Amino acid sequence: MRPSALRFGPRAVRRAGGDAGSHNGPPGAPRPGSAVRASAKPSPGRRLRDLADLVRAPAAFTVPGDVLAGAAAAGRRPGASVAGLAASSVCLYWAGMALNDWADRDLDAVERPERPIPSGRVSAPLALGTAAALTAVALGVAAAAEGRRALTVAVPLAATVWGYDLWAGSRSVGPAVMAAARGLDVLLGAGADRLRPALPAAAIVAGHTLAVTALSRAEVTGAEPWLPRGTLAATGAVAAATAFRDGPARQGRGRGRRLALAGGLVAYGATAGRAQARAVADPSPGKIRGAVGAGILGLIPLQAALTAGAGQVRSALPLAAVFPLARALSRRVSPT
């Protein structure tokens, strides 16, 4: 199985019906009822649900915070331009999801036969076309939001997403490429002419991504304890770097900023760190998958802490508000 984590195209998805291996029958055999669904012409509503499953639509809650954190680090106030860049980022995330399933369709036929392509709910050409269309939309929205200069970051970001899913994801450089994608996502929010002040925030998000993506490579086999220990140590380092980082904005530097920053870091540690500590005690596949999923969700309070730490407490509040919703939705559509 290709590794999964904070990817624009994550791999292992646990659906409401259980894990892929929970059905009876030989590996690669479809779940009961899947052939019936594939043979019947789906309704428009069903087709939309299948496409939403393909792109893991609810998992996109972990994405806009990258742009908000980058904008805050660069001293930008949220507005129509930043909202457009966040929408572009979400489209790229969904594109990577669809592309990942297209790239791994043969592997999924064995390991995840309930996924949209091997189950017959979405055809391989449609998945590839969806990825291409969403990428084009993402670049168009970025250009509409901030002009051609936005493509200075958006185009390399899109190239990194496609490069990860089509080449790097199964190689040793995969975690580094995925970390680069998340770092570029933060820089997208900063704007092409304000990249320098956002570099620390981008490095923090990239560091978290690197650690959790490396951990995700043991989702199927389990890990030696040193791997979750390393991830847990990285989580502590990311939290410390966020706590002592200073942003350029001067607003909100009083008690409200400190409380918002501390609250985000506490939620980050309780989400990502606690699950990683469980994986240290029991590095079995189930605990590793749980730690990876928690690491992905933990991005949201980390983004909120980065945004508040840069002095934009009000911009961090929507991230704090959406975090419980993202956790609830992750029980139905796993972010891993």
Backbone dihedral angles phi then psi of residue 91, each to the nearest 5 degrees: -60, -40
User: CA 33 to CA 14: how far, in whole Å?
Assistant: 18
**pLDDT value for 40:** 56
**pLDDT value for 78:** 87
**Residue 219's beta-bridge partner residues?**
none
**pLDDT value for 47:** 84
**pLDDT value for 105:** 93
**Is 239 in contact with 298 (CB distance < 8 Å)?**
no
User: CA 303 to CA 299: how far, in whole Å?
Assistant: 6
**pLDDT value for 203:** 97
Listed by start position, the domains of the chain span 46-329
pLDDT by 10s per residue, the chain, length 336: 454 444 544 443 333 333 333 344 444 444 443 443 444 567 777 888 898 889 988 888 999 999 999 999 999 988 999 999 999 999 999 999 999 999 999 988 988 898 999 999 999 999 999 999 999 999 999 999 999 999 999 999 999 999 999 999 889 999 999 999 999 999 999 999 999 999 999 999 999 999 999 999 998 889 999 999 999 999 999 999 999 875 444 444 577 888 999 999 999 999 999 999 999 999 999 999 999 999 999 999 999 999 999 989 999 999 999 999 988 887 776 665
- H helices within 58-173, ranges in order? 64-73, 80-103, 105-111, 124-146, 151-166
**Residue 15's beta-bridge partner residues?**
18
**Is 68 in contact with 84 (CB distance < 8 Å)?**
no
**pLDDT value for 329:** 83
**Residue 262: alpha-carbon gap to chain centroid:** 23
**pLDDT value for 230:** 96
**pLDDT value for 135:** 98
What is the full DSSP assignment across 148-196? GGGHHHHHHHHHHHHHHHHTGGGSTTHHHHHHHHHHHHHHHHH-TT-HH
**Is 85 in contact with 67 (CB distance < 8 Å)?**
yes
**pLDDT value for 22:** 38
